[in-house]
Structure 1
Amino acid sequence: MSAAPEPPHDPFFRAVTAPAFTHELLAGLAAGRCAAVRVPGFLSEERCAEVLAALEAQPFDSYQQARIDPPVMRFGVGVSDHMADGGVAEGYWKALEGHHEAWRGLGLSFDPFRTSREALAAAWPGGVEVGRRGGRAMGDGVAREPNQGFQVHFDDALREYEGDLLDVPLMGQFAFNLYLSVPPEGGETVIWRHRWQPQDEAHRLSAYYGYDETVVRGAESIELAPRVGEALLLDPRFFHAVRPSRGARRIALGFAVGVGTNGRLLTWA
């Protein structure tokens, strides 16, 4: 009896592991030559422990549960909770003031978001900066704790906002994650080789966020287990999800990265 044929594989749908981000890897991710880039040891265990100890003493809020369920906890402010009629609500800017004060209050010896941007800037000739909207700087990042997982979803500022989210139009988008704490089991990021199509809306779980996993049935996938200190840069326009954690908290720093038409990488949260 002959073996079943192997399912077709896209050689460009892969996760690349490297000792550091490079211009070649970032350009390849933007061009679609890979789906994700992993850099183990991006942040030392000592620095991870410093940030984690400071965060563990702080209360985390949840994203709006009417929009994201099961709940995902976070420390910091994300623009997704301040969407209004395809734009950004004025309350976002006021919330950012409290965000910056809260992060300064942690008393860290370094700024983990700036450190992350500087590492990306070293690999990108155009440089990296926090994106602006209406001349005002967006948020620099948040700490997320999706212990019950993230539903299947995609992130694409071009589809989620009317017009341009930032003052500089974007040609591409990445998602950056830096793991501070990982569970002994679960917590994997799953990426499917599937981008949004109009018929996918039949699988949407709510009016705002998340899809039933049937939306990616039959699609090729990659499963990535998180590791402390590892940075992950992925193309969030592919449908992706986070599996529930078992045995410990899963806490990661994160922000969005856009490739601007000015040649710079622009970040926001």
Structure 2
Amino acid sequence: MTDHVATKPILSTPTKILELEHLNTASLKKLISGQVLAIRVPEFANATTSARLIQAIDDTATLEHYGHETYEAGRVVQHFYGVHRWGTPFNSTYGKAAGGDAQEKYYADAARMRGLIDSLCAPQKPPIQQLMEQFQALWPQGATAASFQGRPMFCGIIRVMFPETAHLSETVPHVDCLPRTIAELQHQFSANIYLQTPPSGGELIIWDTQAFSYDEVKRFEGAQLPEECLQKPLRIRPRKNELVLINTRRPHAICGFDSGKRVSMQSFIGYTPGEPFYFWC
């Protein structure tokens, strides 16, 4: 694929990237409507909590490749774009048998990781739990951890990137979209709370284009996104302890970096009018 990021993404602009001291209802409405591409909340995470999580990741975490799914000849194919994970993501169940080993592993790991992250963050709440509670307070229908298949899902997976493989995401803009067979969502957002950032590089790139529907995503062959939708890239350089919200049905990518680590706690957030926001990963 062409290196789209080589077009030198411009810095985020106030009209498209909203930076706030605290989330508010008006900002969520702007994200839903597409009026803004991203919301940034600096110093969202408690610094002590972040330090505890980073220490646990360095000392005890078993990191695995975080695959990104594409659809090729009607099959689900997982690609490694340089992101490692602590925890099991729901997309590991895509294309697998209902009630099979992949699903059972996901829900077992979800319960285990919830308990582990809670204990590491205590007496504080995990950053993603704090975010969910803010959504609950701000939105009339509230927010909740998703249970699309009748079982509680995990939210707050740990994503880790290293210099050696971080560049793999840079040349492959992608979108994330929950299959419609799981749940019908009008929009899918993501929250990343950055626990550690590299000294330079590691920018989040988001393209200023319409969010794709699930049907459009499924029609794309592999990682190939329409070239005409990759003309207006904007760049966000995450800061330690910052929250960044984006619509994951818009193309996005991550720039490489030469030193340090890029670590975040992440959750997807589903939106459908008249329903709560659903958190999962």
Query: TM tier, shorter chain?
Result: 0.7 to 0.9
Per-residue CA deviations over 1:168-204 (Å, capped at 9, x if unaligned) read x422221110000000111100001234499999985
Question: Does 226-235 or 120-129 show the bigger shift?
Answer: 120-129
Distance 1:241 1:216, change over 3 A: farther
Question: Does 117-126 or 79-88 show the bigger shift?
Answer: 79-88
RMSD: 3.0
Distance 1:202 1:135, change over 3 A: closer
In the other structure, the counterpart of 1:112 is: 127
In the other structure, the counterpart of 1:125 is: 140
Matched, 1:152 2:160: no
Equivalent residues in 2 for 1:30-41 (5 A)?
Answer: 30-41=32-43
Per-residue CA deviations over 1:199-223 (Å, capped at 9, x if unaligned) read 999985xx3xx347x8367611210
CA distance in 1, matches of 2:94, 2:14: 33
In the other structure, the counterpart of 2:6 is: none
8 Å CA contact retained: 2:197, 2:261: yes
CA distance in 2, matches of 1:28, 1:202: 28
Distance 1:256 1:43, change over 3 A: same
Equivalent residues in 2 for 1:94-243 (5 A)?
Answer: 94-105=105-116, 107-108=119-120, 109=122, 110-147=125-162, 148-149=166-167, 150=169, 151-157=172-178, 161-163=179-181, 165-166=182-183, 169-194=184-209, 195-196=211-212, 207=222, 210-211=223-224, 215=227, 219-243=231-255
In the other structure, the counterpart of 1:81 is: 92
CA distance in 1, matches of 2:16, 2:97: 33
Shift of 1:237: 1.3
Question: Does 68-77 or 230-239 show the bigger shift?
Answer: 68-77
Distance 1:202 1:246, change over 3 A: farther
In the other structure, the counterpart of 1:21 is: 23
Aligned residue pairs total: 248
User: For 1:257, what is the secondary structure of its paired residue?
Assistant: strand
8 Å CA contact retained: 1:87, 1:162: no
CA distance in 2, matches of 1:221, 1:88: 40
8 Å CA contact retained: 2:127, 2:193: no
Matched, 1:69 2:84: no
User: For 1:34, what is the secondary structure of its paired residue?
Assistant: coil
Distance 1:217 1:235, change over 3 A: closer
CA distance in 1, matches of 2:280, 2:199: 30
CA distance in 2, matches of 1:127, 1:59: 34
Shift of 1:133: 1.8
Distance 1:83 1:230, change over 3 A: same
User: For 1:133, what is the secondary structure of its paired residue?
Assistant: coil
8 Å CA contact retained: 1:35, 1:235: yes
Distance 1:156 1:53, change over 3 A: same
Question: Does 36-45 or 57-66 show the bigger shift?
Answer: 57-66
Question: Does 178-187 or 80-89 show the bigger shift?
Answer: 80-89
- Structure richer in helix, relative to its length: 2
Distance 1:96 1:245, change over 3 A: farther
CA distance in 2, matches of 1:97, 1:202: 32
Per-residue CA deviations over 1:89-109 (Å, capped at 9, x if unaligned) read 652233331343245345311
8 Å CA contact retained: 2:92, 2:102: no
What is the TM-score normalised by the length of structure 1?
0.80
Q: What is the percentage of aligned positions where both structures have the same residue?
A: 21
Per-residue CA deviations over 1:78-122 (Å, capped at 9, x if unaligned) read 111220169896522333313432453453113333222112222
CA distance in 2, matches of 1:199, 1:130: 27
Distance 1:138 1:89, change over 3 A: farther
